Chains A and B, each alone.
Chain A
Amino acid sequence: MPNFCLFDVGSTYTKGCIVDTDQEIILAQASDFTTSSTDISIGIEKVKQKMFKDITVHIDKTYVCSSAKGGLKMIAIGLVPDLTLKAAQLACYSAGAKVIKSYSFELNQKELDEIENSNCDILLLSGGTDGGNTSSVRHNANQLIKLKSRFPIIYAGNKSCQDEIKTQLEQVGFECILCANVMPSYGILEVDECKNKIRELFLKSIVKAKGLSQLNEVIDEIVLPTPLSVFEALKLLSKGTKNESGIGDLIAIDIGGATTDVYSMNEKLVVNEEFGYKGLQEPLEKRSVEGDLGLRYSASHVYELKTDLHSTEFDAYINEINNNPHLSSNIELDTQLASTCVDIATQRHVGRLETSYTPMGISYYQTGKDCRNVKQCIGIGGPIIYNPNARSILSQCLTKPNQKDILLPIECEFYLDKDYLISCLGLLSKQYPDVVIRILKKKLEKLNHV
């Protein structure tokens, strides 16, 4: 089996590693500041030089995942906020996209203006179950054709009117891709086809539009948006393959400067069969993105959410961050901000247990995912892996005594993706799934009680 050179081009750092798929080891790994504002390939070259400083090895293929230039920016449109809009958002997230705007019901002029100026990469239009409501998607398509800007539109709404909507959008010069309804019948979520279409579009047009194709000279393929690469690696690690067992249910948290991503991989949606399930079925493999939780660009918002942190020293620090997002870290204060990010992001990610006192006794029903039995939590990304208090930050994902209705893990082992391997190895998840699992099992660092 060959050797691979893998890169993750991010907004702050470019990370790289060399994998020997025969011996199943990492031969080298390095990182450097990103050069995405100028020429991304310079950053890749730098990382390459660092990696090849001490070793000589033949490289067969070079792959890259990228979240540079703002990542994959999408707009999600649905009908009812808790149903098709939520389904559309889940589809975008599971494809590794960032949802920059979401709209429900019928688009008005103000929302149309926002879309016009949003600079989005792909728009996902949904609404109505198959055979259900058609008026909202028809209205919204009629609004979208008034736009001057052009971007690919994926239609994943009621199938009854998909052809007329495709024709209508294409007549005015939109590229329109049809795909299966994200909610074909009430409460049923169907995101796989949509996820694939988003990925195809990312490769076909977005990579070019973002000037990433200049990379083609240094690498063989831009395979995935970074969050999707992470998603695929975590899914493999959790589920395993027929040759290599997975580690079971897990939750993973990636705190960035502007956002906090939470991934959960579960075997079952409803763990306790006595609970009824309500609302939209959530995916067993789920990614959520909190656009208001992060350590730099979103720091002041995180600080506002957590009033018990407030102090003069902290006020000053937040001010400094606002003036200079590249400010170096105050470990103690960043720990508190990061803990808040984990606390809130995981609470939003998981489901709830509602208790009803009925004349027939107590009844329970669940909305969203039940992660109480998740026993493993993985920390990803610079702000967590370089923080000496990583364990205490990650432990914020555990259930709190007064919040038993929030279905967070009860107890966990904590792990760190110390060498930035998850995002890079995700690139090999299709070709060498067994190798990816085995390397991750070896290389994830377990955090012990301090």
Chain B
Amino acid sequence: MEKINVVIGVIGADVHAVGNRIIDYAFSQAGFNVINLGVMVSQKEFMDAAIETNAKAIIVSSLYGHGELDCRGMGDMLKEAGLEDVLLYIGGNLVVGKSDFSEVEKLFKSMGFNRVYPPGADINQGIEDLKNDLKEKGIYA
């Protein structure tokens, strides 16, 4: 069976590359075909890559605190592009100054993200979640 394509990258003007490499490694090890767009990735790049590669999920990282601004409108854009079935995850240091993560999670879910992870989240949790979410859609990784 062909591997499932997953697009990953660090959004906005964020250049934190370490987490990006860990995600690349972990998801590849877990059997996914990872299309890694690297750092400083725009919304449009995520969208274009997902269309061409027929990706089933987009995993966005953001570490520098401007994630909210960078991700604004992203869920809607993907819907417009016909990618409403693509799972959209985000993780990292998403906002500055809000300590209550449940609020952050609520905010990003309202922006169209399916899963939101706090700083220090276990990567294996993300992999498990993705497998389960795909299974729910009838896709087996």
Chain B interface residues toward A at CB < 8 A:
2-3, 5, 7, 13-15, 33, 35, 37-40, 45, 48-49, 51-55, 64-66
Q: In the complex, which residue of chain A has the Cβ closest to the Cβ of B14?
A: A358
Question: Which residues of the other chain, A, contact B37 by a CB distance below 8 angstroms?
Answer: 186
A186–B49 touching, CB < 8 Å: yes
Question: Which residues of the other chain, A, contact B5 by a CB distance below 8 angstroms?
Answer: 131-132
Q: Is A279 close to B, CB under 8 A?
A: yes
A131–B3 touching, CB < 8 Å: yes
B15–A131 touching, CB < 8 Å: no
Question: Which residues of the other chain, A, contact B39 by a CB distance below 8 angstroms?
Answer: 276
Given contacts A276-B38, A360-B64, contact A132 B15 (CB under 8 A): no
Say which one of A79-87, A145-153, A245-253, A321-329 lies at the interface with B.
A79-87
- A-B pairs with lowest CB-CB distance, top 6: A132-B53, A358-B13, A133-B54, A356-B13, A132-B54, A80-B48
B90 CB to nearest A CB, Å: 18
B64–A128 touching, CB < 8 Å: no
B53–A79 touching, CB < 8 Å: no
A363–B52 touching, CB < 8 Å: no
Given contacts A129-B53, A186-B35, contact A82 B48 (CB under 8 A): yes
Question: Which residues of the other chain, A, contact B49 by a CB distance below 8 angstroms?
Answer: 83, 186
A interface residues, how many (CB within 8 angstroms): 26
Q: List 12 A-B contacts (CB under 8 A).
A: A79-B52, A80-B52, A83-B49, A132-B5, A133-B53, A186-B49, A186-B53, A358-B15, A358-B64, A359-B13, A359-B66, A363-B40
Per DSSP, chain B at the interface is loop
Which of B2, B15, B35 has the most A CB atoms < 10 Å from its CB? B15
What separation, in Å, do the CA atoms of A357 and B52 have in the docked complex? 30
B94 CB to nearest A CB, Å: 14
Q: Is A141 close to B, CB under 8 A?
A: no
Question: Which residues of the other chain, B, contact A363 by a CB distance below 8 angstroms?
Answer: 13, 15, 40
Question: Which residues of the other chain, B, contact A83 by a CB distance below 8 angstroms?
Answer: 48-49, 52
What separation, in Å, do the CA atoms of A365 and B12 have in the docked complex? 12
What separation, in Å, do the CA atoms of A345 and B57 have in the docked complex? 39
Q: Is A77 close to B, CB under 8 A?
A: no
Question: Which residues of the other chain, A, contact B15 by a CB distance below 8 angstroms?
Answer: 358, 360, 363
What separation, in Å, do the CA atoms of A34 and B3 have in the docked complex? 56
Question: Which residues of the other chain, A, contact B54 by a CB distance below 8 angstroms?
Answer: 128-129, 131-134
Q: In the complex, which residue of chain B has the Cβ closest to the Cβ of A279?
A: B45
Question: Which residues of the other chain, B, contact A183 by a CB distance below 8 angstroms?
Answer: 52
Q: Considering the complex, which residues of chain A in the window 273-320 have a beta carbon less than 8 Å from any beta carbon of chain B?
A: 276, 278-279
